[in-house]
Structure 1
Amino acid sequence: MLELDSALAQHIVDRAMAILPHNINVMDAQGMIIGSGDPARLHTRHEGAQLVLANRRVVEIDEQAATCLRGVRPGVNLPLLHADELIGVLGITGDPEVVRPYAELVRMAAEMLVEQRQLQAERHWQRHQLDAWLRQLFDPTVPIGTLAADAERQGLTLAWPRHVCLLELQDGGEPLAQQARLLGVLSSKSEHLAAPLGMREMFWCRPLHAGRDDAHWLEGADERGWGVARLLISDPVQSLEQLRQACLALRDLQAFARARYPALRLVALEEHRLPTLLHAQRNSWLLQGWLAPLKKVLAHDSSGVLRETLEAWCEHDGQVQSCAAALGIHRNTLRYRLERIAELSGVELTRLDRRLQLSLGLGLIEPD
């Protein structure tokens, strides 16, 4: 059963007394005054309210009756109901003949305020439950079966396919205000799910729409001052299991983007799939062996010239002329550097797979 609290009771009093020229009291289910236009009457017991609670009916008290009851003044006292449950009493101070016409209207308004507050509390609870569920998508220790059961319990139905997005928020400003504003925007449609993941992160799960222009969305976000620093996007997902995998992959994509492209604002997994996968395994023994040839080169490259040359060589797909032009050096100088790289690494640079090994490796080893 809903219990009246002093904040809600005083809110009812203030709203009613802004219209009526009479004092209003609100009593709880024990007959204690918890809201009143007369502060001196707060936290005192109202015997007239106790009569209402005991008999579940309206009790009118005139001057003569008031002298026989403790903590009571003339007026009309009415039961407050919520879902047919008696939760308290509303009292209007004054001659019953004068205040009676207002009694039912004030009670109706009060019960509407109680219902509104209860709906707000239920929505807040549902929002809290949904936020917790969405955050659990990023926790691999929570079984998929548990997620599915919790989704069913919450009445959460997901239509497939969907995209999963991770939004990083800009530094500066009030993060809670930023999150609240974005949460309102991202959750404006029922099929869109959003939740804060941290002080500067938001999760967004949205239906897949062909032709969606995320670059344009970022421009609009900037124009509206939403404070989005970066948008990371997963591949489309077709099930709850894939949704979980996409969330975990977004964390790997985020780590890769922060390391290699800190200024890049729109990062899609489909464009960085392989380097993201390798970056997530960058500390493994197997991958360290794969990086060994490149590390030999970089160990003898204190000036950074060989790294710069190798990056240009891979970027221009092994084309000597365009690579030399990009570096601003003679073709012979380029050939000398490439021979030096091949000598140090033991890698045959004319082979595409070996160039790819070095090119991807450059993305996993930070410049000194």
Structure 2
Amino acid sequence: MLQPELAEKIVTEVQKLISEEIIVVNTNGIIMASTNQGRIGTFHEGALITSQQKKKLIITEKETLKLAGVKAGINLPIFFQQEVIGVIGITGDPETVTPFGEIIRKMTELLISENYYGEQFEYHSRAMETFVLEWLQAKEPSPDLLERARALAIDLALDRTAVIIEFEQSPLSRVVWSSILNSFSQNKNDVLTRSGNERIIILIDCSNSVTIKNRLESFLNFIQSSFGICAYAGVGQCTIPSKLHDSYAQAERALKLARRNRGIMFDEELTLEMVTGELTAETKTEYIQRTIGPILKEKDLLETLAELFRQNHSLKNTAQSLHIHINTLHYRLKKIEELSQLNPTNIHDLFCLYLATLFLDE
């Protein structure tokens, strides 16, 4: 329970409050951490007595002659869940350091409690993440997976929708993670876990009557308003248990567009992205070079092309949006054709240019 690393942390934190020598001792009387490095690993009889009697021990100068490894000061038992797990000692005149005793002990016990529950949170998070990732990869749950599901009270027989939420900022602190995970409005059958330090995976019970979009919008708004963290979500389609990995793959695909639009994207809303999402980054890069490669350094031409698509190929609206004369727009489109050998008035060439600008945005 009380490990050397935690003992060192306690000494460091207590040292911020008082300048006296501090020691942290285990229940066997061995000093684990100290502001005096030379005392680490030595025996402290006073701490052993404190641990056994479970009460404060004041050590005077006279008693230092009787007890092994001690200095004048005060020893206080450290309690966790009503058991003594160690002792903290403050060296100095007992009358001077005793008033600090209860404050130091409470602070120490709070640090230990915080560390314990933090470790429990990390352990549970890792266990849940491992379970969910194995579940998503398994077409048929193994006996071991079924047993772990029962232990976690997770029903593997429900139809579910996979959701992936991704954060722009990472890594997130343990406190922020805990608040975020606890704030999602879960149906009792929903399964939620973090994935790495920038994602959340949610496997939502399809029978829940509250729409997924409303729940996700509220969740993402909470994250933004509470922590200033921008997040977006990709949502797969509802599927039977044996096809859950397909829903997860759909959520991954939708997340790519959600990342670009900084919002929530449902796989069922994808059309062209269903095809383009399957292309590798290398293929997209090569496509860009083959199509608009000659105008990549022409900023005004790229802006014109992008605005043309934003304005749904309306030349009038494009010129107005760019604050240029219509003749200037015609000149730029002609220049694009000359350099790329793709004519923006030809439907085939226009589509090729549109794909190139999509890939360039990515």
TM-score, normalisation: structure 1? 0.55
Read off the aligned partner of 1:59 and give its amino acid letter. Answer: L
What is the number of residues matched between the two proteins?
269
SS across alignment from 2:43: coil
Counterpart in 2 of 1:232?
A: 234
What CA distance in whole angstroms lies between the structure 2 residues aligned with 1:211 and 1:252? 15
Kindly provide the CA deviation profile for residues 179-223 of structure 1, in whole angstroms up to 9, marking residues without a partner as x: 998896566325275445568865233565338269979997999
What CA distance in whole angstroms lies between the structure 2 residues aligned with 1:196 and 1:168? 10
Q: Does structure 2 retain, via aligned residues, the 8 Å contact 1:257–1:264?
A: no
SS across alignment from 2:12: helix
What CA distance in whole angstroms lies between the structure 2 residues aligned with 1:327 and 1:177? 49
Counterpart in 1 of 2:317?
A: none
Q: Does structure 1 retain, via aligned residues, the 8 Å contact 2:58–2:94?
A: yes
Pairing partner for 2:184 from 182, 189, 203: 189
1:281-360 matched pairs, under 5 angstroms: none
What CA distance in whole angstroms lies between the structure 2 residues aligned with 1:218 and 1:119? 25
Kindly provide the CA deviation profile for residues 46-98 of structure 1, in whole angstroms up to 9, marking residues without a partner as x: 12212223444433221121123332101121222222332111112123333
1:63-142 matched pairs, under 5 angstroms: 63-140=61-138
What CA distance in whole angstroms lies between the structure 1 residues aligned with 2:9 and 2:46? 22
Counterpart in 1 of 2:213?
A: 212
Question: What residue ranges of structure 1 are gaps of 5+ in the alignment?
Answer: 281-325, 330-368
What CA distance in whole angstroms lies between the structure 1 residues aligned with 2:48 and 2:63? 14
Q: Does structure 2 retain, via aligned residues, the 8 Å contact 1:178–1:227?
A: no
Bigger drift between 90-99 and 180-189 goes to: 180-189
Bigger drift between 72-81 and 14-23 goes to: 14-23
Higher radius of gyration, 1 or 2: 1
1:178 and 1:217, CA in 2 relative to 1: closer, same or farther beyond 3 A?
Answer: farther
1:150-229 matched pairs, under 5 angstroms: 150-155=148-153, 163-167=161-165, 176=171, 185=180, 188-189=183-184, 191=186, 193-195=191-193, 197=195, 202-206=200-204, 209-210=210-211, 212=213, 226=230, 228=232
SS across alignment from 1:114: helix
Counterpart in 1 of 2:47?
A: 49
Read off the aligned partner of 1:226 and give its amino acid letter. Answer: C
SS across alignment from 2:62: helix
RMSD (Å) for aligned C-alpha atoms? 4.7
What CA distance in whole angstroms lies between the structure 1 residues aligned with 2:53 and 2:178? 47
Counterpart in 1 of 2:307?
A: none
Q: Does structure 1 retain, via aligned residues, the 8 Å contact 2:160–2:238?
A: yes
Bigger drift between 188-197 and 116-125 goes to: 188-197
Question: What residue ranges of structure 2 are gaps of 5+ in the alignment?
Answer: 279-344, 349-362
Distance apart, 1:177 and its partner CA: 5.6
Runs of 4+ aligned structure 1 residues displaced above 6 Å come to 178-184, 198-201, 213-225, 255-258, 262-266, 326-329
SS across alignment from 1:10: helix
Percent of aligned positions that are identical: 21
Distance apart, 1:10 and its partner CA: 2.7
Bigger drift between 58-67 and 34-43 goes to: 34-43
Read off the aligned partner of 1:31 and give its amino acid letter. Answer: G
SS across alignment from 1:70: coil
1:217-296 matched pairs, under 5 angstroms: 226=230, 228=232, 231-236=233-238, 242-243=240-241, 245-251=243-249, 254=252, 268-271=266-269
TM-score, normalisation: structure 2? 0.56
Q: Does structure 2 retain, via aligned residues, the 8 Å contact 1:53–1:79?
A: yes
Read off the aligned partner of 2:246 and give its amino acid letter. Answer: L
